[in-house]
Chains A and B, each alone.
Chain A
Amino acid sequence: MIYQGKQKIWSEYQKEIPDDHWYYVRSCIRQNFFPASERMFTEITRNVLGKDIYETPSHTTCGGIAYHCDTIPQETVMTIVARQFALMTEAGYENYVASCITSFGNYAEILETWHEFPELETKIRELLWKACKKEFKKPKYLAHSSDLIYKFRGEIAAKGRFRLVDKETGEPLRIVEHIGCHYAKMFPHKGVGGAEYPCVLSGMIEAWGGQVIDYPERRHCCGYGFRQYHVQANRGYSLSNTHKKFESMEPYHPDAIITNCPGCPYFLDRWQYVIAEQTGKTYGRDGFGIPVFTYEELAGLVLGYDPWDLGLQLHQVAVEPFLDKIGIEYDPSAKYKGLDKKDILRPGLPQNLKCF
């Protein structure tokens, strides 16, 4: 298609996302902290939308977090990724979807670097052959799992039971989005809307009836910083950056935050708990925090899944005030139950942050 004028300018911010047949790779962080979000991704794409999403048990970490903690050389991470591509090739796929922003950024960086320095790609092919006797084709399309939810946001809204609307007032709920740095800050053309107009999450909010809330530090890092979180001595960095974002969004009274990245929802959730316990300050109403959701969790709520099937009980910030605003039904006594309502006790309560 030939674009002209404003259409041409906007075309630079579009991203082609194929409709079907994806090779899926999981996220280390999300499998640990938001396991039900990954389950919802396959549930929505396969069972609600009828898409072909293939996964092999043989795929592993992409090595991205170890790489950004500077613990493995570039050749090592590149060869781990080359092996992932080889598994995709063996399975007969060419569309590659990653469930993690660090991974997505890692894949994007590696493909760009190979494009610019083909001799490095040749070297990595040799190393992969030496280590694993494997060969690979590069993915034709690289997507982040939120790209797919974004692409099908309209279908999700059409099939949805709920909208992101206050059931009392009929007003749209006020939602803040957090994109995650490695989605489009390194290679803007790889993300929907680029680094300037990232609409991967705001598109979902609008399609599902909510209102996108802007605030000054909207694009500031959540503060993960890899070594700045994984080493205990450095966590002040991580906490300080999250604190800065909350101080900046507080005057705009968001009802919820939707996140793209695997780490961001964890940090934005847990550091609210730490800030409340250390200083007594809470950012939601009446001593609650601002609930933080992954895009699959929010999609799942819109589609009418049980909040506890979505894993919302693993959040430290209580989600109930948000569910009540929309009018989503839930059974408070089932929140902390195991499979088949097995009693597995319940968490202790924080001192300051109000929870159920």
Chain B
Amino acid sequence: MGKLYDELAKDYRLKEGLKTCINCGTCTAICPAAEFYKYDPRKIVDTVQRKDDAEIEALLKSDTIWYCGECMSCMTRCPRKNGAGLVIMALRNLSARLGYFTYSEKGRQLYPLTKIMTGNILKYGYCVYPETFKMEDHPEAGPVWEWHTQHLRDNMERLGANYQGKGPGILRKIPQESLDELKAIFDVTGGTERIETVEKYSRAKADEMGMSMDEYTTYTFKHCSEGHFNNED
């Protein structure tokens, strides 16, 4: 493998997202992540454009690249038509490929996220699905949601959905041929390989931390150490 920057430079999001950064800080000024997290997209873009592999490696192993919310507010405002959010996406992609995401707490969250998202897509054909959006993981969903999920079929029928039904409509059962096509797409485009890579490095990290995969999943999903936010030391 070539230098880290060369790998990043192959990513179309970097081609689109990094022309020349003039270090003006407009992206940081508008960034919702910078307001709460110890996060400065200007510095990240600048680090990448300096092409210093040691610094890029440190970034790939850091919490920093996982603070962005990918809202892309920075793209609208950059006077040089960069997209700090796109640069972040390229960095995260490389961090996932190389297993560097397991070096940071926020990076390790990629494991439960991958399980939830790709699990839903491959099993149901949706990114989010009622069966896996559980009240115990989402207390903020409130008593209305609790009631709704307890009476899911009744409510879905009442509101005109076609929940798990045949034919078109809301939350219909996606035909098996379509799910098979999604799986084939994952197989030929690197989606399946990505799931396996994230799993492999996460298993090694869980071992190192002395946790079972279930413990690791819960821990990475729920645990937040002090020190990520601007108002913390």
B128 touches A73 (CB 8 A): no
* Least distance between B198 CB and chain A CB atoms (Å): 8
A226 touches B70 (CB 8 A): yes
In the complex, which of the residues A35, A65, A71, A228 contacts B159, with contact meaning CB atoms closer than 8 Å?
Answer: A35
Q: Tell me which residues across on chain A come within 8 A of B73, comparing CB atoms.
A: 181, 185, 219, 221
B29 CB within 8 Å of chain A: no
Assembly CA distance A239 to B158 (angstroms): 31
Query: Looking at chain A, what size class is its interface with the partner chain?
Result: 35 or more
B147 touches A346 (CB 8 A): yes
Assembly CA distance A181 to B83 (angstroms): 14
Contact residues, A222-267 vs B (CB, 8 A): 223-228, 230-237, 239-241, 244
A69 CB within 8 Å of chain B: yes
Given that A39-B161, A339-B154 are contacting pairs, would A273 and B140 also be in contact in the complex, using a CB cutoff of 8 Å? yes
Assembly CA distance A219 to B159 (angstroms): 32
B127 touches A74 (CB 8 A): no
The closest CB in chain B to the CB of A185 belongs to: B76
B62 CB within 8 Å of chain A: no
A74 touches B36 (CB 8 A): no
Residue interface mask B104-125, A partner, CB < 8 A = 1 = 0010011011101110110001
Query: Looking at chain B, what size class is its interface with the partner chain?
Result: 35 or more
In the complex, which of the residues B32, B113, B179 contacts A231, with contact meaning CB atoms closer than 8 Å?
Answer: B113
User: For chain B, what secondary structure do more than half of its interface residues adopt (helix, strand, loop), or is it mixed?
Assistant: helix
B182 touches A80 (CB 8 A): yes
Given that A57-B172, A74-B12, A346-B147 are contacting pairs, would A28 and B128 also be in contact in the complex, using a CB cutoff of 8 Å? yes
The closest CB in chain B to the CB of A62 belongs to: B127
Given that A76-B189, A314-B155 are contacting pairs, would A65 and B127 also be in contact in the complex, using a CB cutoff of 8 Å? yes
Most B CB within 10 A of own CB, among A75, A195, A244: A75
* Least distance between A349 CB and chain B CB atoms (Å): 7
In the complex, which of the residues A232, A337, A346 contacts B222, with contact meaning CB atoms closer than 8 Å?
Answer: A232
Contact residues, B170-207 vs A (CB, 8 A): 170-172, 174-175, 177-179, 181-182, 184-191, 194-195, 198
Given that A57-B175, A232-B137 are contacting pairs, would A223 and B127 also be in contact in the complex, using a CB cutoff of 8 Å? no
Q: Tell me which residues across on chain A come within 8 A of B121, comparing CB atoms.
A: 60-61, 63, 66, 72
A35 touches B189 (CB 8 A): no
The 6 closest A-B pairs by CB, nearest first: A225-B69, A347-B147, A76-B191, A338-B154, A66-B117, A131-B184
Could you tell me which A residues sit within 8 Å of B by CB distance? Answer: 26, 28-29, 31-32, 35-36, 38-39, 55-61, 63-66, 68-76, 78-80, 83, 105, 113, 116-117, 120, 127-128, 130-132, 134, 181-182, 185-186, 188, 195, 219-221, 223-228, 230-237, 239-241, 244, 270-271, 273-274, 309, 311, 313-316, 336-339, 342, 344-350, 355
Provide a sorted-by-A list of 21 A–B residue pairs whose CB atoms are within 8 angstroms: A35-B170, A39-B170, A57-B169, A61-B125, A64-B127, A71-B117, A73-B189, A83-B181, A130-B188, A131-B181, A131-B187, A185-B72, A221-B71, A225-B68, A227-B113, A230-B116, A232-B137, A234-B224, A237-B37, A240-B36, A345-B147
